[in-house]
Amino acid sequence: MGKQFAIIGLGRFGSSIAKALYDLNYDVMAIDLDSERIQENINTVTHAVQADTTDEVALKSLGISNFNVVVVAIGQNIQASILTTLILKEMGIKTVVVKAQNKLHAKVLYKIGATKVIFPERDMGVRVAHNLVTPNILDFIELSDEYSIVEIISSEGMANKTLIELNVRARFGVNIMALKNKSYINVAPSANDIIRKGDIMVLIGHNKDLRKFEDFVMNGK
Ligand code: ATP
């Protein structure tokens, strides 16, 4: 049996997650208070159920305790989001991912055991900003306030050089975790591996060091 996901709250965020997981062939149960939202999503999930997830009895009757991962994507109603998360954690659901409205909401969610709290608008804003400044950046994951993972396209000047020649770790303090292209991925590049034209580098490091490296890739400095 593969992973089973339940998505609570079918706003734009919740319904996108539900559809994406369903398209990846996972079992997805979608839950919303609003029957119109259920109708809108009925063809893009495995089961769509109308329920108030702040009602413990209702949640239990849906068999939600069998789900590996539950995403709480209730937006505006912070109280409903917190109550739902609390009930899910008390039921023993291991992974509960919750969308937060603000920092205080996030703090409460972590205190009651949320596995991961996300701020979709903020995260997308940060991503777009990075992409505007450095078009070579394809993706960006914040690990903490200080450390991130970025995917960046190598520059022309880097092509056909080995990692030891570029000496990225010593010069910039960042690590190349993977090199990838349309046709291959190298998840443990060694010092003698060559960067080919158009290779995407997956880097991890301190934000300050990553920025220096981004400048180097952009300007050849
Ligand atoms: P988005 O930005 O993702 O579109 P949003 O932040 O505007 O979403 P809302 O529309 O406020 O979020 O909430 C998302 C969904 O959560 C709504 O469809 C709403 O009906 C549902 N919801 C709210 N409270 C509950 C609840 N107690 N039980 C189940 N679903 C709920």
**Which tokens belong to 162?**
């080995």
Count of residues for the chain?
221
CA distance readout (Å), 80 to 48, 50, 58, 187: 19, 15, 14, 42
Q: Which residue's CA lies nearest to atom 10 of ligand 1?
A: 11
Q: Which CATH superfamily is domain 4-131 in?
A: NAD(P)-binding Rossmann-like Domain (3.40.50.720)
Amino acid at 218: M
pLDDT of residue 220: 65
Longest CA span, the chain: 63
Separation CA 79–CA 215 (nearest Å): 44
Which position has the token pair 């339940």?
Answer: 6
Low-confidence ranges of the chain (pLDDT < 50): none
DSSP 44-80: SSSEEEE--TT-HHHHHHTTGGG-SEEEE---S-HHH
Q: Which candidate, 162, 194, 200, places its Cα nearest to that of 180?
A: 200
Amino acid at 91: M
Q: Which residue's CA lies nearest to atom 21 of ligand 1?
A: 9
CATH topology of domain 136-218: Alpha-Beta Plaits (3.30.70)
Q: What is the pTM of this model?
A: 0.77
Residues flanking ligand 1, CB < 6 Å: 8-14, 31-34, 37, 52-54, 73-77, 80
Amino acid at 21: L
Extents of the domains making up the chain: 4-131, 136-218
> In this structure, what DSSP letter does residue 100 have?
-
DSSP alpha helices (H): ranges in the chain?
12-23, 35-41, 56-61, 78-90, 103-111, 120-133, 163-166, 168-172, 207-219
User: What are the pLDDT digits (tens) for 121-169?
Assistant: 888 888 888 778 777 888 888 888 899 999 999 988 899 999 999 999 9
Q: Which candidate, 166, 165, 163, places its Cα nearest to that of 177?
A: 163
Say how many Å lie between the CA of residue 131 and the centre of ligand 1.
29
Q: Which residue's CA lies nearest to atom 9 of ligand 1?
A: 75
